[in-house]
Amino acid sequence: MIGKYERLSISDGDLDGRDENNSIEHQRSLIDEFLASKAEFRGIEAEEYVDDGYSGKNFDRPGFRKMMESVKSGRIDTIIVKDFTRFGRENTEVGKYLEQIFPVLGIRFIAINNNYDSSAYYSESAQGMDETVSSLVSTFHRRDVGKRLHTANEEKWKQGYSTSGSAPFGYLQDPERKGRYVLDPPAAEIVRKIFDLALEGCTTSQIAHRLNEEKVPIASEYNRIYGIQGKERQYSLTPDKIWNAGKVWKILTTYEYTGAIVLGKSRVIVPGRTVIRKNAPRDQYVTENAHEAIVTHEEFERAQGVIQYRTKGEYLGKKDFPLRSKIRCGHCHRVMAHDLGAAEPVVWCRDGREMPQYSNCPSGQYSIRLIEKQVFQALREWLELLVCLKEMVGAEPSGGSEQLKDSLSPELMQLLTLAPDLLREKALTKEAVKLTIDRVYVHGENMKRLKGNVEVRFRFEKEIATRFQ
């Protein structure tokens, strides 16, 4: 059975947070719509657990407790929420449930708006994964470096049986042998074509171009069109469903295409961005000849040659700048790629630059220096406003001011205290960005005319707007 969990708390600022609508009704209809849209959930009973008026800062909530009872008794095996904050607001605690408790209990966890599905996470690459999810999950991977969790799953992995309920693109779950894969011929043909092009010496970008030209569907689109169950059919953040170098790269590095089943993969996440790596071989469970191969081992090894550009420093997060991982494409809303090594450091939207004829994203490169200048300007205005608010909070006669103070979140109060100091900075600093800036969107094409095309979203914007207007 599916457990639908909904939570609302005025004290957490849920009704004036970043989400337009956090009401229970909205959460319920979003979940119901999601469930109705997925063939795999059809006919499966769902039960609702609601905590109306309970803070997400702890787990002492009646609805939550009741749901966990159902989890323990085996009544529900899937939990679905609108987003992580509905489940809880304490990242470490939420992470503990996601990474330790639920996997052990075999619970599938879905956070619709975070694009997170635990069954997809364990088997699919973290590509396209929402930032919230990666930072949440990374907390755990960092903590558990060298100390892999011994879960009930590991026994099955040793024997070469997957526990995730999904299979790599090109394969389907074998209905006869649970945890093994069978070939999905039309998808396997796409995979084979990608390897063929790589073996002919095409780069990942060239391959992506070719696939787009021939209107070959990307994996999630293919799964949606063919109604394939239990596979990645993510609610993609990107409006354009096209192949790009990253997606091709993902296919070319999937060892399963040689016929092996690989379990216990892990991801090392470099703070600020997701970098996908395999666990050391000794920590993986590889079973050769588990299913029909799409490529030979020799072909697989040769194909790795075309994707070496991925190991360039730019992907390893060695260099840094204050707005790292904050600058997003105004069209697809994904974090833009950057090159700090160039004479003029720049950012660009990968799809827009690599796939200009298929993507509606801007294809230009933008100067990081110019963006920083615009952001710094906006930040100063924002800080000046905060300083005014600080005076308001501090200057009001007793009573009124206390009330006002109480109505502000502790984080915002802290920022108000720091605002005058931050205002004294002469340039954009990492610290100021961390405290104040949520996201920066870049719109339009022309980097010379960036003014007005840089949209800065500050933290606490909504909180302030609703309290003081």
Residues that bind Zn ion (CB under 5 A): 329, 331-332, 349, 352, 361
Residue 358 tokens read as: 């298929």
Q: Are 145 and 277 contacting, i.e. CB atoms less than 8 angstroms apart?
A: no
Q: How far is the CB of 407 from Zn ion (least distance, A)?
A: 38
Q: Are 427 and 347 contacting, i.e. CB atoms less than 8 angstroms apart?
A: no
Q: Which residues pair with 130 in a beta bridge?
A: none
Q: Cα separation of 184 and 188, whole Å?
A: 6
Q: How far is the CB of 238 from Zn ion (least distance, A)?
A: 7
HSE-up (13 A, CA, CB side) for residue 289: 0
Q: Are 320 and 211 contacting, i.e. CB atoms less than 8 angstroms apart?
A: no
Nearest to 337 by CA among 244, 405, 462, 264: 244
Q: Cα separation of 431 and 182, whole Å?
A: 51
Q: Which of 61/353 has CB closer to Zn ion?
A: 353
Q: Which of 208/262 has CB closer to Zn ion?
A: 208
Nearest to 86 by CA among 122, 47, 113: 113
Burial of 203 (0-12, 13-18, 19+ CB in 10 A): middle
Q: Cα separation of 101 and 8, whole Å?
A: 23
What single letter denotes the amino acid at residue 182?
V
Q: Which of 24/237 has CB closer to Zn ion?
A: 237
Q: How far is the CB of 234 from Zn ion (least distance, A)?
A: 17
Q: Which of 195/366 has CB closer to Zn ion?
A: 366
Q: Which of 140/366 has CB closer to Zn ion?
A: 366
Q: Quick one: DSSP state of residue 249?
A: H
Q: Cα separation of 325 and 328, whole Å?
A: 8
SS3 (DSSP) at 173: strand
Q: Which of 263/346 has CB closer to Zn ion?
A: 346
Quote the Cα angle for 231-233-235, to 5°.
Answer: 145
Q: Cα separation of 230 and 38, whole Å?
A: 9
Q: Which of 209/331 has CB closer to Zn ion?
A: 331
Q: Which of 207/332 has CB closer to Zn ion?
A: 332
Q: Which of 32/221 has CB closer to Zn ion?
A: 221
Q: How far is the CB of 324 from Zn ion (least distance, A)?
A: 17
Q: How far is the CB of 220 from Zn ion (least distance, A)?
A: 17
Q: Which of 251/361 has CB closer to Zn ion?
A: 361
Q: How far is the CB of 456 from Zn ion (least distance, A)?
A: 18
Residue 223 tokens read as: 């799964």
Q: Quick one: DSSP state of residue 408?
A: S
Q: Which of 272/444 has CB closer to Zn ion?
A: 444
- List CB contacts of 167: < 8 A, sequence separation 6 or more: 123, 173, 181, 184, 231
Q: How far is the CB of 306 from Zn ion (least distance, A)?
A: 24
Chain-centroid distance, C-alpha 139: 14
DSSP string, 113-141: GGTEEHHHHHHS--TT--HHHHHHHHHHH
Q: Cα separation of 429 and 421, whole Å?
A: 12
Residue 258 tokens read as: 């040689």
Q: How far is the CB of 240 from Zn ion (least distance, A)?
A: 8
